[in-house]
Homo-oligomer: A and B are copies of this chain.
Amino acid sequence: MADVARLAGVSSQTVSRVSNGYAGVTEETRRQVLAAMKELGYRPNSAARALKRGEFRTIGVITFSLATTGNVRTLEAIATSAASQGYAVTLLPVAVPTQDEVSGAFTRLEELAVDAVIVIMEVHLLDAATLTLPPHVQVVVVDSDAGDHYTVVDTDQAGGTRAAVRHLLELGHGTVWHLGGPEGSFAAQRRADAWRHTLAEAGRTPPPLVRGDWSAESGYRAGLELAARPECTAVFAANDQMALGLVRALHEHGRRVPGDVSVIGFDDIAEAGSFLPPLTTVHQDFAEVGRLCVEAVLRQMREGGPERGTTLVPTRLVTRASTAPPPA
């Protein structure tokens, strides 16, 4: 900076003013400074800036596994959204979702140059780590019921589930089976609860819950079980991947979809419309979730306090070809 100042024949302070776009610099001077910057290839040192300003203009995102579409889409939206506000996004991968690992991430985080954190995670793991968070770092959580401690942004799991289950009931199915996500996942928990609740509302008895782990492979295994039950004519899968595996298992055992069994997924991943048959599913607006996270976190930074409570992003049922009335 000093070099630039010398070359432009001004003080370093004036260089700083130009570099930060402050008013009160003559057009003439400004041009000279910019020219000098260019000539010397000057770029402001962000460490010094951060030191002086006391903020990093960076948001940390804690997540384990980018294996699920949802996390990735959300992350993408967060990054884009943050960038448009002049914030960078730093990734904090947590390899194994154990309490230790999560605490570890928070510990690393403490040394990290971030002003705020967005946690995309099954957050029962978060509780014990709470205390170690540096106080001035704002937190927003996705996909969790931590609403009484943090700001939470989530999709409307219950609404989407209700729409899916009702759709199947309206087609005439006596009841709806559920291929749920892994234990310990709040999204899975929510969807299972809403499934049970919607059936109860309609006076139907929920069949036993079948569990997968979100993967297509686990959906396939579950499908092997369900294919053996002729009374099962409608399945609500907790995500599209499991639905995919489920359909494959049904198909391999001669149960046609949707002729014999109707299947609904959740997420509406990009490929869902190209499955065989094209999958009816619940669309989630991950981009909106990401956007809201950034908005919330920036608002918190301005206002200084965490807001409690949960913001829900609506879901939408996308009807394709994997659902139909039950066989006569």
Chain B residue nearest to A48 (CB atoms) is B51
Category for how many chain A residues contact B: 35 or more
For residue A163, CB closer than 8 A to chain B, the reply is: no
For residue A151, CB closer than 8 A to chain B, the reply is: no
Take A47-B56, A93-B76 as given contacts and tell me if A273 and B66 are in contact as well, using a CB distance cutoff of 8 Å: no
Query: Which stretch from A37-45, A193-201, A300-308 is at the chain B interface?
Result: A37-45
How far does the alpha carbon of A274 sit from the alpha carbon of B93 in the complex, in Å?
27
- Give min CB distance, A251 to chain B, whole Å: 6
Take A41-B134, A47-B51, A251-B276 as given contacts and tell me if A271 and B66 are in contact as well, using a CB distance cutoff of 8 Å: no
For A271, give its contact among B73, B251, B271 (CB under 8 Å).
B271
How far does the alpha carbon of A110 sit from the alpha carbon of B248 in the complex, in Å?
49
How far does the alpha carbon of A66 sit from the alpha carbon of B286 in the complex, in Å?
13
Chain B residue contacts of A248, Cβ below 8 A = 274-276, 278
Chain B residue contacts of A141, Cβ below 8 A = none
Q: Quick one: CB contact mask for A252-287 with B, threshold 8 Å, 1 for yes?
A: 000000000000000000110111101000000000
Take A89-B90, A110-B43 as given contacts and tell me if A270 and B241 are in contact as well, using a CB distance cutoff of 8 Å: yes
Chain B residue contacts of A89, Cβ below 8 A = 90-91
Contacts of A178-227 to chain B: CB distance below 8 A? 215-217, 219-220
* Copies of this chain, tallied across the complex: 2
Chain B residue contacts of A47, Cβ below 8 A = 47-48, 50-51, 56, 113
Q: Is B75 a contact of A274 with CB atoms below 8 Å? A: no
For A245, give its contact among B66, B90, B135, B274 (CB under 8 Å).
B274
Interface centre among A135, A244, A251 (most CB of B within 10 A): A244
Take A91-B79, A244-B274, A244-B275 as given contacts and tell me if A50 and B113 are in contact as well, using a CB distance cutoff of 8 Å: yes
Chain B residue contacts of A244, Cβ below 8 A = 271, 274-275
How far does the alpha carbon of A137 sit from the alpha carbon of B1 in the complex, in Å?
19
Identify 19 residue pairs between A and B in the complex whose beta-carbon atoms are under 8 Å apart, listed by A's number: A43-B110, A43-B111, A46-B56, A46-B112, A58-B90, A72-B72, A75-B91, A79-B91, A89-B90, A90-B91, A216-B271, A217-B274, A220-B274, A241-B271, A244-B271, A244-B275, A247-B276, A248-B276, A271-B271
Q: Which residues of A line the B interface, CB within 8 A? A: 41, 43-48, 50-51, 56, 58, 65-67, 72-73, 75-76, 79-80, 83, 88-93, 95, 108, 110-113, 134-135, 215-217, 219-220, 241, 244-245, 247-248, 251, 270-271, 273-276, 278
